[in-house]
Amino acid sequence: MLKRALRSPVTRRVSETVVTLFGVAVVVFVMLRAIPGDQISASLGTEAAALTPGQRADLESYYGLDQPLILQFFKWIGNVLTGNFGFSAQANKSVLAMIAQSLPVTFELALLAIVIGLMLGLPLGMLSASKQNSVRDAASQAVGLAGLSIPGFLLAAAMLAAVAQLFHYNPNGQAFATLLQDPWLNIQQMFMPALVLGFGLAAPIMRTARTALLEVRSQDFVRTARGKGAPPRRIQYVHVLRSALVPIVTMTGLLFGYLLGGAVVVEQIFSVPGIGRQVLTGINQKEYAVVQSSVLVIALVFVLVNLLTDLLYRVIDPRVRAL
C-alpha cells in the first residue's frame, strides 16, 4: 500500500512541487547575495562609507548579515515553513502582510488581462482559421504581430500620457482602491493596465488558437459532422472549438503564471501596488526577506495554476479522464 501511495500521481505531483520550490528558493537566495552591496549600503547609500567598523558590525548583526550564508538560508526556510516570511523595515510590516495585500492585486490584474486577451485573441484566432491564407487570415495575424511587437511599457506610457493629456483623466493618479474598498474606482484603475497586458497576450492566444483550430478542422469527425448536415455554427463551437481548447488552455495557464511576476513594468507605470512591484522595490532596497519570500509565493502560485490547468484538461477532454 505504501508503494502504491508513493507511486500515485498525487504523491509524484507533490514531490515535484516541493523540489521545484526548493530549487527556486536556492536560486533566489544565491542570486540576491551575488549582487554587490547589501541592505546596509542599499539603505544608507554612499553614507555607508562613513560608518565605523563598530557601527557596521552592529548593523550587520541587526540585519542578520553576520551569520554564515548556509545558516541564513535554512533559518529563512525554517521561518517560512512556520509562517514567518520575514519583516520589512522599510514598510514596517511583516512580509506575509505585504504579500496578502499585493498578491490579490496582481491576481486581479492578471485575471482581467487574461479575459481581455481571450476576448481579443480567440475571435481573431477563429477568424484567422476560418479561411486559411485569406485576407482575413493575414489581417488577423498582423494584429497579433502588432500585439507581440509593441513593447508593453511603450504602449502603457503612451496610453497614459495620451489619455491624461487629451481627456484630463487618470484614475491611476489617485490613491489605489481595492475591489472591496471602491469597486468602481478599482475597475477604472485596472482597465488601462489590463488592456495593455491583454493586448500583449492576445497574440500568442490568437496564434495558438489558429493552429489548434486548423488542425482540428482537418480531422475526420469534423468532416463527418459537416456531412451529417450540422449547422456551421454548431460545428465551429461544439465540435471544433471544444476540441481545440486543450492547447489554448495550456497557453492561457502559462501566460497567467507569467503575469504574476511579469506585470511589474505595467504595475510601475500605472502605479498598481502588485507583487511584481513589491519584488522590484525589495531588490532595489536589498530587502532580502521581501524578495525571497515574494518570489517563493509567486512560484507556489504558478505551480498551483499549472495544477488547475491540468485539472481543467480532465473537464474539457474526456480522453484525459480515462487515463
- Judged by CB under 8 A, which of 1, 5, 10, 50 binds other proteins? 50
3-state helix/strand/coil string of 216-277 = HHCCHHHHHHHHCCCCHHHHHHHHHHHHHHHHHHHHHHHHHHHHHHHCHHHHHHCCCCCHHH
Nearest distance from C-beta of residue 255 to other proteins, angstroms: 22
CB atoms within 10 A of CB 213: 24
Q: Is 160 in the site for other proteins (CB under 8 A)?
A: yes
Binding part of the chain for other proteins, among 9-17, 212-220, 268-276, 291-299 by CB under 8 A, reads 268-276
Nearest distance from C-beta of residue 273 to other proteins, angstroms: 5
| Size of site (CB under 8 A) for other proteins | 58
- Judged by CB under 8 A, which of 65, 91, 230, 316 binds other proteins? 91
- Judged by CB under 8 A, which of 47, 66, 71, 74 binds other proteins? 47
Q: Is 173 in the site for other proteins (CB under 8 A)?
A: yes
CA distance 307 to 319: 18
- Judged by CB under 8 A, which of 13, 17, 33, 51 binds other proteins? 51
CA angle 301, 190, 290 (to 5 degrees): 40
Q: Is 176 in the site for other proteins (CB under 8 A)?
A: yes
Q: Is 158 in the site for other proteins (CB under 8 A)?
A: yes
Contact mark string toward other proteins, 108..147, x via CB under 8 A: ----------------------------------------
Catalogue the long-range contacts made by 144-152 (C-beta closer than 8 Å, 24 or more residues apart).
144/202, 144/203, 144/206, 144/207, 145/203, 146/203, 147/120, 147/199, 147/200, 147/201, 147/202, 147/203, 147/206, 148/200, 148/203, 148/204, 150/199, 150/200, 152/196, 152/197, 152/200, 152/265, 152/266
Q: Is 207 in the site for other proteins (CB under 8 A)?
A: no
Binding site residues, other proteins, CB under 8 A = 35-37, 41-52, 54-55, 58-59, 88-93, 98, 102, 153-154, 157-158, 160-166, 168-170, 172-176, 265, 268-271, 273, 277-278, 281, 284-286
